[in-house]
Amino acid sequence: MTQTLNVIIIGAGKAGLLLLKELNQPRYKNYNVVGFIDDDEKKLGTTVENLEVLGSINQLPQIVEKYDIGLSIIAIPSAPGKTITRILDIIQSTNSNFMTVPPIFQNLKINTISSPRKISVKDLIRAPIENVLTEDSMREIKDYTILITGAAGSIGSEICYQLAGCSPARIIGLDAAETPLFELANTMEQKHKKVKFTPILANIQDADRLKEVIQKYNPSIIYHCAAFKHVGMMEAFPRECVKNNIQGSINVIQIALEENIERFVFVSTDKAVNPVNIMGSSKRIIEKYILNQKSADTKFMIVRFGNVLESNGSAIPIFQEQIENGGPVLITDERMERYFMTITEAAQLVIQASILGK
């Protein structure tokens, strides 16, 4: 028989109430919600849905011990990262596990909430994300056929999801990785049913196949995300880096020129600035190659990223894995500073570049 888990909800506002409703579902039958915690003095000692607001966040250690709390769930989606970090510091002084609810619904008029999940790095930052894709800018790409290379990767897939809200005529997702492409197609089918999404299993190194796809669908915009990006791997396999990041990119660019594609966006990296490795050099070479193209029909745009939070194989997931395995946490150089952006911000930057680029 599964043991009952005593749960405390941190936050007695709308999110806390919706979370309580969620936890009353049969799949959480082993969860026993003991009460709420809230810093609002007006709520202390009151009852919410027959459960008492037991104290403030600073009193959490005493409450956890008194009620044998096994799980503390943070339900304050509007809280800034500093507040979440403070709460976590307090929770970690106890024996309670912890989770949170997604912040995404905080500005939406809905009466349901997603299941609680583990704390992510984004919860500790929670910098406000300004949606740069206004209705006017979205109209710029409405009814367009759009091709994304590397569509099944972290950035490529997020671009697909963002574009789905712009009402394109069709999104063509091209990738050489079969399983991630299959998963992307499933997600698009489930969450963006109104959008025509066509998955294409192909490699940008195959120029003939690439030309066949572009001629068949005649996209107006190409977002070129496909690339090998791991610095260490590319140092070990420089030939593969050249074949994919350089020759593969040249294939896409040349076909875009031949077919008079209206707009072409190349996703580059900050490692292309004074490159010191083969991966950064490969991106810089393509940047220069694009700058040397002269076309009256095709507009070229280049977007450079720094570190993208939680993208596949990026620094943060690697650091998390190292910590979970007991350390040490390895960095390239102690003098290095890293600047992060979210996947959502990265995708919007790429799309905005395609709209504003001249």
Q: 43, 122, 229, 271: which is the annotated catalytic residue? A: 271
Instruction: Tell me, rounded to whole angstroms, the distance of Cα 72 from its chain centroid.
Output: 25
C-alpha angle with apex 311: 263 to 286, nearest 5 degrees? 40
Active site residue 271: yes
* 218 φ/ψ sector (left φ>0, alpha ψ -120 to 50, else beta): left
User: At a CB cut-off of 8 Å and minimum separation 6, what does 188 contact?
Assistant: 160, 161, 164, 171, 173, 195, 197
| DSSP H or E segment with residue 53 | strand 51-55
Q: Which amino acid is at 17?
A: L
- What is the DSSP pairing of strand 170-175 with strand 71-74? unpaired
Token digits for 115? 């299941």
> Any alpha helices (H) in the chain, and if so which ranges?
14-23, 60-67, 81-91, 121-125, 135-139, 154-164, 178-191, 207-217, 231-236, 238-241, 249-258, 278-291, 315-324, 343-356
> Which has the closest alpha carbon to 51: 24, 33, 39, 69?
33
Q: How many residues would you count in the chain?
A: 358
- Give the whole-angstrom CA distance, residue 320 versus residue 258: 45
- What is the DSSP pairing of strand 47-48 with strand 51-55? antiparallel
Based on its alpha-carbon atoms, the radius of gyration of the chain, rounded to whole angstroms, reads: 24
- Give the whole-angstrom CA distance, residue 55 versus residue 35: 9
CA atoms within 13 A on the CB side of 302: 18
- Tell whether omega for the bond before 328 is within 30 degrees of 0, i.e. cis: yes
Residues annotated as catalytic (active site), given as ranges: 271
